[in-house]
Chain A
């Protein structure tokens, strides 16, 4: 089955009001080309589930978001995501703020078809106060109370991988595939962008197929966009574009997201966007961070 689609064909599958999960982690391996395509679309009222970075900041700033389900939104070396911060401080968005592990459990519950997964995480904190819909329940097996972390069912998952074939076999060779497999499993449809489109032969070596974290039956569509995670990283190909994130951060103080969008997104193709950074060859020279 050939699942190749363009970014605009993928975004055309998304609808107003959908719950959309976004893979990656903070400034790492975010499907930013798809985010930019959403920013060029009329989509609105989205509920976003993410280990958030600029994906969440940009979507909030552009007024695409009704609600964010998150544990953090951060660019790491710039700890506070500037546009998410603005949206929160102006009271523009609804939130469900939960622990990082709870978010994982919510995705797992959705993937496994469970209404919830019991956990002690969140007890004694404002997570259970600020989320009145989050139920604390008794256990049939002990005398403690437990947080019933509800399934986070996604209408769509958007993830970026380093390699995929046209049938939707996806490899993540980066040191960490983060929770991308759980986003894909929690979603009715999973849309993948890849830095390299490969033939199925690519996956034959065991050490490569070991880096495939979900079955192709879960991949709805594949879009080949080299550099599609920029300005986030996509190891082993390129690191986080720190200098671009610093510039992005400046727009929050001066010019706002409209100015950023006019400069980098609105009316621009992905090629035109990349050309502003010297093209894909220059993006692939962005060094990896040493922690």
Chain B
């Protein structure tokens, strides 16, 4: 049954789950509460073949609820999956990661490393490239953006290009766009993918109460818009109940500023 009341975070979790729906038997890695709950929801509903880890060192047959668990909780281990083995999995291509980059550009390249024009003395040093170079050339990747803005969707190229995208100038010898698998971009105002002409960013749906113009305005480069953009489907009450079991401490309520409702109130 379609829910009539839900938070924006819950809407985004349900969209995140759709990203993993047709993946088959791959490792779903959702970095952050909303992507992880999306993967958990997909594994428990639309794609039971998914694999997830305990975010530490074991592969699980059932997703762990997030955060502190009762002392008698037994996680459903099925194999050891320490970090060295994660790379064996990455390079086997059987993985779909969903992460939240600080910058995304028109080529689908992303940045979590550093901000500023001088690499030797960045304005803001962030995490480093982490595993993005390897993820982006090895397996499917989706992006999660909690604050859709021109600061994230930058006009130029990312300050540090951490992940390969559809940039012809950077395409390695022997590769083409079909070798790069960038899936959904899930933001706080819309859902997009990279299926516009020549793998450009395309609007898939807008969240309830959001206009197409707002998406255009908050994106630093052209978004491909098709006629009659649909509204993002609302969660079902069954989905909301499952999300609550995977997030018993309600961490999802702390992921977006002021935990806004999924249906944006009409401005008075």
A interface residues (Cβ-Cβ under 8 A, vs B):
25, 51-52, 70-74, 79-80, 84-85, 88-91, 97-102, 104, 119-127, 129-130, 136, 138, 142-145, 175-179, 182, 290-291
Contact = CB atoms under 8 A, between A and B. Distances in A.
Given A100-B87, A102-B133, A122-B133, 16 more contacts: A89-B122, A91-B120, A97-B113, A99-B130, A99-B132, A101-B87, A123-B164, A123-B175, A124-B165, A125-B136, A126-B160, A142-B174, A144-B172, A290-B68, A290-B69, A291-B54
A125 B129 contact: yes
13 contacts: A72-B129, A80-B126, A98-B133, A102-B133, A102-B134, A104-B84, A120-B137, A120-B138, A124-B167, A125-B133, A175-B58, A176-B82, A178-B84
B84 A144 contact: no
Contacts of B127: 72-74, 79-80
Contacts of A120: 137-138, 172
Contacts of B172: 120, 123-124, 136, 144-145
Interface in B103-153: 109, 113-114, 118-134, 136-138
Contacts of A71: 128-131
B123 to A, nearest CB: 7
Interface residues of B, number: 52
A175 B128 contact: no
A90 B132 CA distance: 25
Interface in B160-183: 160-165, 167, 170-175
A84 B125 contact: yes
B55 interface: yes
Contacts of A102: 133-134
Contacts of A125: 109, 129, 132-133, 136, 161-164, 170
A25 B130 CA distance: 12
A291 B55 CA distance: 6
A124 B170 contact: yes
Q: Is the interface of B mostly helix, strand, loop or mixed?
A: loop
B83 to A, nearest CB: 6
Contacts of A178: 82-84
Nearest to A99: B133
Contacts of B213: none
Given A144-B172, A179-B83, A127 B54 contact: no
Contacts of B258: none
B57 interface: yes
B125 A89 contact: yes
B156 interface: no
Nearest to B127: A72
B125 A100 contact: no
Contacts of A91: 118, 120-121
Interface in B50-102: 54-58, 64, 66-69, 82-84, 87, 90-91
Nearest to A93: B120
A3 to B, nearest CB: 25
A126 B105 CA distance: 14
Contacts of A136: 172
Contact of A89 (B123, B133, B174): B123
Contacts of B68: 290
B96 to A, nearest CB: 17
A123 B120 CA distance: 21
A130 to B, nearest CB: 6
A144 B173 contact: yes
A178 B55 CA distance: 13
A100 B58 contact: no
B167 to A, nearest CB: 7
Looking at B58, B67, B126, B138, the one whose CB has the most chain A CB atoms below 10 A away is: B126
Contacts of A179: 83-84
Given A124-B167, A291-B55, A130 B90 contact: no
Contacts of A73: 127-128
